[in-house]
Structure formats: C-alpha cells, structure tokens
A = this chain, B = another copy of it.
Amino acid sequence: MQKTYNIGVEATIEVIGGKWKPVILCHLNHHATIRTNEFRRLIPGISQKMLTSQLRELEQVGLVKRTVYNEVPPRVEYSLTEYGKELEPVLNVLCTWGENHIEKRILDGEDVCLIKSDNEIA
C-alpha cells in the first residue's frame, strides 16, 4: 500500500515533527557534535527517556549520527549526518523566526525571554 502526501510539509512534519526533534536538531545545527549530558543541559525540560527515543528516531531516518567511544566513563557523541546537514536552512529559519517572535512578544509587554546559553560556549 502506497503512502501518499498532499503537500511537502506533511513529510517534513512526519520526520522532524513533534515537541523535541526540532530543538534537538537546532542544537546540533549550532554545535556540530554534542554529548548526551550536554543535551540535557541545553534542553533542561527534556526527560532522559524522550532524549534517547527522539535521538534514536532521528538516527533511524538518517539525519543524526551516533558515535560511541569505548572509554571509562562512557562517551557518546551525536552529530548531523551529511543528509542531516541539508536541514540547515530549515533549522536556521525556524530558530530565527522564533527569536523574532519572542522579541515581538517582549515589545508587546509579555513576560518572556530567550536565554542564549547556546552560542559562544567556546
């Protein structure tokens, strides 16, 4: 049985939709390589379970690469695959629109803010 889509975005949502995947991918878009615990710091709201399950699914569709180092203590690093890097324009535009939207809401007097613990870590 054939799976059909009526508009391109349906396929996009199916792959990178949901509450956490876009966030995970955006961080990977900014950092090149991220360890598990770094994710838990970058995304304070996510649970262990969600983090691994979402990463596994992104791995399945070939967007994320998982690298395990046989060390003690164990070390696992995640990064975008070549195919995943094709998401860069998508992720950039999703991020910047959100930043602008937050700006707008601040100007509207809402009590929101953006904590950019993300960039310029090095």
**Chain A: residues with CB nearer than 8 A to chain B?**
1-13, 15, 17-19, 22-23, 26-27, 42-44, 86-87, 89-91, 93-102, 110-118
Bound-complex Cα distance A89 to B47 (A): 32
> Least Cβ distance of A99 to chain B in Å?
4
- Out of B86, B97, B117, name the residue touching A8 (CB < 8 Å): B97
> Least Cβ distance of A8 to chain B in Å?
3
> Least Cβ distance of A64 to chain B in Å?
15
- Out of B9, B93, B101, name the residue touching A15 (CB < 8 Å): B101
- Given the known inter-chain contacts A15-B101, A87-B97, A89-B93, please indicate yes or no for A23 contacting B4, CB distance below 8 A: no
> Least Cβ distance of A48 to chain B in Å?
17
Bound-complex Cα distance A56 to B89 (A): 29
A2 and B114 contact, CB distance less than 8 A? no
Closest partner residue, chain B, to A113 (CB atom):
B4
Bound-complex Cα distance A13 to B90 (A): 13
B12 and A94 contact, CB distance less than 8 A? yes
